[in-house]
């Protein structure tokens, strides 16, 4: 109604008045629009642009050390597999060279876990060039974490080895039986070695061997419907077949080690965290304060007394390090695509 009245009023005005009203209205709208763009839209756009530049800068400041750390660890693994398998052997001379190689190998892994931990902590502040590249990076970080932590394949491998020894075809078993059997075997193995703090079943005492075999006969009867006795299992070398050394570093351990390896720095420097130096790392190893050593020992188990120069079915760490090397290569490639 009001609009109709206003239209009628405007149509009855003199041409000069109409022109003045139009010019005034256009001027008013232009001024208001100018203030709106200048005082509202432009500052918002500039603020968003500034925030994006800052997030890109944060990503750049993590991308480089993360990539360099992954490269450093991968080069050490390549060195071990190609020419220097002996640097991790048990009977190495107790001199500076072999001591350095062992500690620096562990440092390279721990520092990488530190950079990954810092990267994930500040993930919300990072601006990766594209969603596709961001997904690639996160997928490879997860793959690396899995290669350190996942031992399910070993459990299944042990179960399948025992099925072969017992001449049982897994295809003839009901769905899920082999998987359940593998989990129960691992439980028996862990029970046998935990009380004596051993790495593998073969290192346990005869008493614990007997307890393991006794429990295993019951397990085989209940789940596989096969009657066997301890003597038969010993003749089949079940103890050796079930003795596989692991170097698993569980995901929560990885985060704890990463947390141990980082130190805060001012955000004015482009990122909030750095990783401790090799000097600080080695000082932690020899320190009277053993709180940090607990975490470092959890990564050291991946390298202690390791011989990658031979095909050793009893040491899963060899295949584990190969998987780690592959995942590192893919992570480095993904980070390489994000050059800014």
CA atoms of 219 and 166, how far apart (whole Å): 13
Using an 8 Å Cβ cutoff, are 273 and 265 in contact? Answer: yes
Q: What is the mean pLDDT of residues 50-69?
A: 68
3-state secondary structure of 320: helix
Tokens in use for 11? 């149509």
Q: What is the mean pLDDT of residues 155-182?
A: 88
Confidence of residue 259 (pLDDT cuts 50, 70, 90): very high
Q: Supply the DSSP string of 52-118, one letter for each residue.
A: HHHHHHHHHHHHHHHHHHHHHHHHHHHHHHHT-GGGG-TT--SSHHHHHHHHHHHHHHHHHHHHHHH
* Predicted local distance difference test score (pLDDT) of residue 51: 45
CA atoms of 49 and 71, how far apart (whole Å): 32
pLDDT above 90 as % of the chain: 36
* Predicted local distance difference test score (pLDDT) of residue 14: 67
* Predicted local distance difference test score (pLDDT) of residue 290: 81
Rg from Cα positions in the chain: 32
Confidence of residue 52 (pLDDT cuts 50, 70, 90): very low
Of 192, 63, 244, 43, nearest in space to 136 by CA: 63
Cβ burial 4-31 (10 Å sphere, 16+ → b, else e) = eeeeeeeeeeeeeeeeeeeeeeeeeeee
Out of 10-19, 61-70, 183-192, 296-305, which region has the weakest mean confidence (pLDDT)?
Answer: 10-19
For residue 175, CA distances in Å to 156, 170, 171, 223, 334 come to: 14, 9, 9, 12, 38
* Predicted local distance difference test score (pLDDT) of residue 287: 83
- Delimit the domains of the chain by residue range: 2-49, 57-119+130-150+248-336, 153-241
User: Residue 42 burial by CB count (10 A; 0-12/13-18/19+): exposed, middle or buried?
Assistant: exposed
Out of 35-39, 54-58, 113-117, 262-266, which region has the weakest mean confidence (pLDDT)?
Answer: 54-58
Residues in CB range of 56: below 8 A, 6 or more apart: 127, 129, 340
CA atoms of 281 and 201, how far apart (whole Å): 33
* Predicted local distance difference test score (pLDDT) of residue 40: 57
pLDDT above 70 for 36: no
Of 281, 335, 267, 300, nearest in space to 58 by CA: 267
Bigger pLDDT: 64 vs 20? 64
pLDDT above 50 for 309: yes
Tokens in use for 63? 């991308």
CA atoms of 106 and 113, how far apart (whole Å): 11
Distance, C-alpha 316 to centroid of its chain? 19
pLDDT above 80 for 54: no
**For residue 253, what is the enclosing H or E element?**
helix 251-261
Tokens in use for 120? 């994930």
pLDDT, tens digit (0-9, with 9 covering 90-100), for 226-250: 899 999 999 999 999 888 888 899 9
**Global confidence as pTM:** 0.77
Using an 8 Å Cβ cutoff, are 318 and 57 in contact? Answer: no
Out of 3-12, 14-23, 38-47, 80-89, which region has the weakest mean confidence (pLDDT)?
Answer: 38-47
pLDDT above 70 for 193: yes
Q: What is the mean pLDDT of residues 60-64?
A: 80
Q: Return the ∠ at Cα 76 (arms to 74 and 78), rounded to 5°.
A: 70
Out of 107-111, 112-116, 264-268, which region has the weakest mean confidence (pLDDT)?
Answer: 264-268
């Amino acid at each position: 109604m009001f609009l109709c009245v206003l239209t009628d009023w405007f149509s009855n005005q003199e041409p000069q008045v109409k022109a003045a009203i139009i010019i005034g209205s256009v001027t008013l709208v232009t001024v208001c629009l100018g203030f709106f763009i200048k005082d509202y839209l432009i500052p918002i756009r500039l603020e968003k642009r500034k925030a994006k530049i800052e997030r890109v800068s944060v990503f750049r400041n993590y991308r480089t050390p993360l990539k360099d750390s992954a490269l450093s660890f991968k080069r050490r693994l390549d060195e071990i597999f190609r020419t220097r398998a002996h640097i991790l052997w048990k009977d190495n001379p107790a001199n500076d060279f072999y001591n350095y190689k062992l500690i620096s190998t562990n440092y390279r892994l721990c520092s990488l876990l530190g950079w990954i931990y810092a990267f994930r902590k500040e993930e919300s502040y990072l601006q990766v060039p594209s969603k596709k590249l961001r997904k690639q990076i996160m997928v490879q970080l997860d793959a690396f974490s899995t290669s350190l932590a996942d031992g399910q394949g070993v459990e299944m491998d042990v179960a399948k080895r025992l099925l072969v020894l017992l001449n049982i075809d897994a295809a003839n078993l009901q769905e899920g039986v082999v998987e359940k059997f593998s989990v129960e075997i691992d439980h028996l193995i862990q029970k046998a070695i935990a009380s004596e703090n051993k790495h593998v079943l073969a290192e346990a005492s005869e008493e614990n061997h007997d307890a393991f075999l006794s429990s295993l006969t019951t397990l085989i009867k209940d789940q596989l419907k096969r009657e066997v006795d301890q003597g038969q299992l010993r003749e089949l070398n079940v103890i050796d077949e079930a003795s596989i050394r692991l170097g698993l570093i569980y995901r929560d351990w990885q985060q704890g080690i990463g947390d141990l390896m980082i130190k805060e720095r001012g955000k004015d420097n482009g990122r909030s965290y750095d990783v401790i130096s090799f000097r600080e790392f080695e000082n932690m190893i020899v320190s009277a304060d053993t709180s940090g050593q607990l975490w470092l020992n959890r990564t050291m188990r991946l390298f202690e007394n390791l011989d990658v120069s031979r095909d050793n079915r009893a040491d899963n760490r060899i295949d584990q390090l190969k998987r780690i090397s592959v995942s590192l290569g893919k992570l480095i490639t993904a980070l390489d695509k994000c050059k800014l």
